[in-house]
Amino acid sequence: MGVKPKGRPLTLTEKIFAAHLRRTGREAPPEPGELVEVPVDFALGNDVTAPVAIEEFRKAGAKRVFDPERVALVASHFVPARDLKVAALMRKMREFAREQKISWFFPEGSGIEHVILPEEGLVLPGEIVVGADSHTCTYGALGCFATGVGSTDLAYALATGRLWFRVPETIRLVYRGRLGPWVGAKDLILFTIGEIGVDGANYAALEFAGEAVEEMEMEGRFTLANMAIEAGAKAGLIEPDEKTEAFLAGRARRAYEPLRADPGAGYARVLEWEVSRLEPQVALPHLPSNVRPVTELGEVTVDQVVIGSCTNGRLSDLHLAASVLRGKKVHPEVRCLVFPGSHRVYREALREGIIEALAEAGAVISAPTCGPCLGGHMGVLGEGERALSTTNRNFVGRMGHPRSEVYLANPAVAAATAVKGRIAHPAEVAAPPVQAGGERR
Amino acid sequence: MSSLLRGRAWKYGDNVDTDVIIPARHLATTDPQELARHCLEDLDPSFASSHSPGDFIVAGRNFGCGSSREHAPLAIKAAGVACVIAASFARIFFRNAINIGLPILESPEASRDIETGDELEVDLEQGEIRNLTRGKTYRARPLPPFIREIVATGGLMKRLARELSGASGSPEAKATP
């Protein structure tokens, strides 16, 4: 943070690229649009993407990963192994991890990479993180440049510790005011995607700022950054502050250098919204940008409610869902599936009585997995079925049959919907909780 | 490889996402031929069985949005699609296509004009798309030389293999940490 800006003021994204280029001996900061190859600080893959990367790694004749301390392989998507084919993919990843002595192999049941890696202090402010999973942008909540890539990119990064990038333009999003009851990070990001569209930030980096973001706890910030990709963004960043520092204290696995944007930095666009009157938002099928306030939906019955995922599977999310469901019953026509984001979240939710409250209400508590979010495993939708989900995508066939439907919302709306059997405002079911946990309510 | 491609167009709309290009139920394989059999299954179930190798996919804005699954461009490439032409590409798909050597061209004009069944001739080097059915020619946005070089080498890992075997050919200042 102590580095004096040379020349023009830089956005946080540009500053991170500039710092990484300095490591390669280049002093001049990059220009947006420029193609650069930079060192990466951390790389990750999962059971869907790593097997392809491992094949590419071997085909190219690479022998060792660039640094086994800076690689994570996470069995997250079709876990516990769905079938024989998946079991073979898991085995391939496990054997590679063993052979390469990779420090951060997370076996089946550990959870979802985007919940685990921040929990474990493996991704840090100021870093460049690449992950063969589109929701890698989640880590931007810590003030790093974290971006989703494909398997070939991962293979290249594993082999060399570098990757090519087109330095993105930066769009600054400013949220004025404090969020009301039942409104959290999920509503902010759904609202934003509704405003700018599913390609509104294509190739660009988003930087989130303003009072609503400053007030937000880290767990909410991860939710916010997580869905940057749903606006097409390459990354979604939040400047590190005392909340970031508190989160990382005793957790960070490496030394790091937090960076902040320079005053007067050049943004491609700056968008500002007053959000104190924002209502809970719902994305209707079949695009995350098809967003409306929950009160404008009318009668929409559902067959399934899913609570979890890398977007809303953290402790504060489950806490929020439990605060609505406690002492009530899931509607008899609804299946309510809860997926804690990680094994740690599961254990903490157990200790806090959250799991008990959810199970007593009739929810099914599953092992941590990405499964249902992508229609892969454990909760696939049948033809003509409709789900309300705290996940991140509602494309055609996303959660199962091509003629099924997905609505996206926050965990409180999901819990209220599970009780009512139709999409409902949480206020219909419960009194607003007092401030606690991660998301502001 | 000749850079002059010829085939028929298959036209789709905006925001063709990776879930419809290759649904998650088929992700438990890395076999390109198996992926090809399910290419575009949830968008156009007839595509995989009806198209001919050498045909083109033509689409609107934000082609390939969503998941980072490389299985999507792999399925398209293995299906024998010569090139994807779109008004714009989602960035992870854009990277993946380049990295695996699947030709892509960005041309809002071509995307607007071309319809399914049109006979196209595409010059990748010139970034020129000729619509033989309608007698029109469209320009595509040229790819930067660095990216053209990756595609021409046959993908990012072929470039790396060359580097690892000692023959260096990077057009960029190499930023070795």
Hey, are the CB atoms on A150 and B69 less than 8 Å from each other?
yes
Same domain, A117 and A214: yes
Which residue has 């405002």 as its token pair?
A: A425
Give the whole-number percent of chain A exceeding pLDDT 70: 97
Q: What is the pLDDT of residue A3?
A: 52
Same domain, yes or no: A221 and A327: no
Judge if A246 and A353 occupy the same domain: no
Are A198 and B91 an interchain contact pair (Cβ–Cβ within 8 Å)?
Answer: no
Tokens of A333: 């026509």
Confirm if A202 and A269 have CB atoms less than 8 A apart: no
Confidence of residue B78 (pLDDT cuts 50, 70, 90): very high
Instruction: Name the average pLDDT for chain A.
Output: 96
Pairing status of strand A162-166 against strand A104-106: unpaired
Residue of A134, A145, A309, A399 to mutate when probing chain B, most B C-beta within 10 A:
A134
With beta carbons under 8 A apart, name residues in chain B contacting A85.
28-29
Contacts of B177 in chain A (CB under 8 A): 23-24, 39, 161-162
A85, A155, A202: residue with CB nearest B157: A155
Least confident among A132-141, A199-208, B73-82, B158-167: B158-167
What integer pLDDT is reported at residue A245 of this predicted model? 98
Amino acid at A344: R
Backbone phi, then psi, for B117, in 5-degree steps?
A: 100, -15
**Structural domain boundaries, residue A216:** 12-253+266-273
| Mean pLDDT across chain B | 91
CB atoms within 10 A of CB B112: 11
Q: Do A397 and B23 touch (CB under 8 A)?
A: yes
Contact B90 A232 (CB under 8 A): yes
Residue-level pLDDT at B143: 82
Reported confidence tier of residue B172, pLDDT bands at 50, 70, 90: very low
* Residue in B with minimal Cα distance to A370: B24
Alpha carbons B120 and B143: distance in angstroms, whole number: 20
Which range has the worst mean pLDDT, A25-39, A87-101, A427-441, B106-120? A427-441
Residues A200 and A218: their CA atoms lie apart, in Å, by: 25
For chain A, the domain total comes to: 2
Specify whether A249 is located in the same domain as A213: yes
Residue A327 sits in the same domain as residue A370: yes
Instruction: Judge if A30 and A165 occupy the same domain.
Output: yes
- Whether pLDDT at B21 is above 50: yes
Q: Does B155 reach chain A within 8 Å, measured CB to CB? A: yes
Partnered with residue B9 across adjacent β-strands are B56
pLDDT higher than threshold 80 for residue A1: no
Decide if pLDDT at A246 tops 90.
yes
Write the Ramachandran bin of A161: left for phi over 0, alpha for psi from -120 to 50, otherwise beta: left
The per-residue pLDDT for B1 is: 47
Residue A438 lies in a domain: no
Q: Does A114 touch chain B (CB under 8 A)?
A: no
Candidate from A159, A199, A393 with C-beta closest to B61 = A199
For residue A86, what pLDDT band results from cuts at 50, 70 and 90? very high
Enumerate residues 6+ apart whose C-beta is below 8 A from A244. Answer: A125, A142, A143, A218, A238, A258
- Averaged pLDDT, A1-9: 64
For the stretch B55-72, pLDDT in tens is: 999 999 999 999 999 999
Residue A366: the pLDDT is 96
A199 shares a domain with A316: no
Is residue A105 scored above 50 in pLDDT? yes
Across the interface, of B19, B70, B147, the residue whose CB is closest to A52 is: B70
A5 within a domain of the structure (yes/no): no
What would the pLDDT profile of B107-153 be if each residue is shown by its tens digit? Answer: 999 999 999 999 999 998 889 999 999 999 999 988 888 888 888 88
Is A331 inside a domain boundary? Answer: yes
Res B166: pLDDT = 78
Looking at the domain assignment, is residue A432 inside a domain? no
Determine the Cα angle at A397 with ends A393 and A401, to 5°: 140
Report chain B's terminal Cα–Cα distance, integer Å. 35
Q: Give the predicted TM-score (pTM) of the model.
A: 0.95
Residue A405 lies in a domain: yes
**If you count them, how many residues does chain B have?**
177
Mean pLDDT of A361-384: 96
Give residue A45's pLDDT: 98
Residues A41-68 have a mean pLDDT of: 97
A284-325 pLDDT tens trace = 999 999 999 999 999 999 999 999 999 999 999 999 999 999
Q: Which of A35, A39, A396 sits opposite B177 (nearest CB)?
A: A39
Mark which residues 68-107 of B lie under 8 Å from A by CB: 68-71, 73-74, 88, 90-92, 95-96, 99-100
Residue A413, strand partner residues: none
Q: How confident is the model at residue B2 (pLDDT cuts 50, 70, 90)?
A: low
For A165-189, write each residue's pLDDT tens digit. Answer: 999 999 999 999 999 999 999 999 9
**Which pLDDT belongs to residue B169?**
45
pLDDT score recorded for residue A230:
98
Asked if B99 contacts A152 with a C-beta cutoff of 8 angstroms, the reply is: yes
Quote the pLDDT of residue A4.
Answer: 52
Angstroms from A28 CA to nearest CA on chain B: 13
Claim to verify: residue A113 and residue A222 sit in the same structural domain: yes
Task: Report the residue count for chain A.
Answer: 441
Residues A66 and A196 in one domain: yes
Q: Taking CA A226 as the corner, what is the angle to CA A140 and CA A92, rounded to the nearest 5 degrees?
A: 95
- pLDDT higher than threshold 80 for residue B174: no
Hey, what amino acid is at B97? A
Do A285 and A240 share a domain, yes or no? no
More confident site: A142 or A435 = A142
Q: CB-CB: which of A24, A136, A156 is closest to B175?
A: A24
Kindly state whether residue A439 falls inside one of the protein's structural domains: no
pLDDT on residue B170:
44
Is residue A7 very low, low, confident or very high in pLDDT (cuts 50, 70, 90)?
Answer: confident
- Are A435 and A216 a contacting pair, CB within 8 Å? no
A261 touches chain B (CB under 8 A): no
Contacts of residue B36, defined as CB under 8 A and 6 or more positions apart, other chains included, come to B48, B75, B78, B79, B80
What's the rounded mean pLDDT across residues A357-368? 98
The residue whose two tokens read 């301390």 is A69
Same-domain pairing of A249 and A285: no
CATH number, domain of A239, equals 3.30.499.10
Say which residues have a Cβ less than 8 Å from residue A11's Cβ, sequence separation at least 6: A170, A172, A205, A207, A261, A262, A265, A266, A267
By percentage, how much of chain A surpasses pLDDT 90?
96
| A437 falls within a domain | no
Nearest residue of B to residue A233, measured between CA atoms: B91
C-beta separation of B117 from B133 below 8 A: yes
Looking at residue A440, its pLDDT comes to: 42
Distances (CA, A) of A356 to A195, A376, B135, B154: 38, 27, 68, 55
Q: Are residues A197 and A289 in the same domain?
A: no
Tell me what pLDDT residue A412 has. 98
Q: Which residues pair with B7 in a beta bridge?
A: B120
> What was the pLDDT predicted at A311?
98
In a domain, A306, yes or no: yes
Give the residue ranges of DSSP H helices in A303-398. 309-312, 315-325, 343-351, 354-360
- Smallest Cα–Cα separation from A169: which of A200, A132, A133? A200
Strand partners, B10: B57
Shortest CA distance from A393: residue in chain B: B66
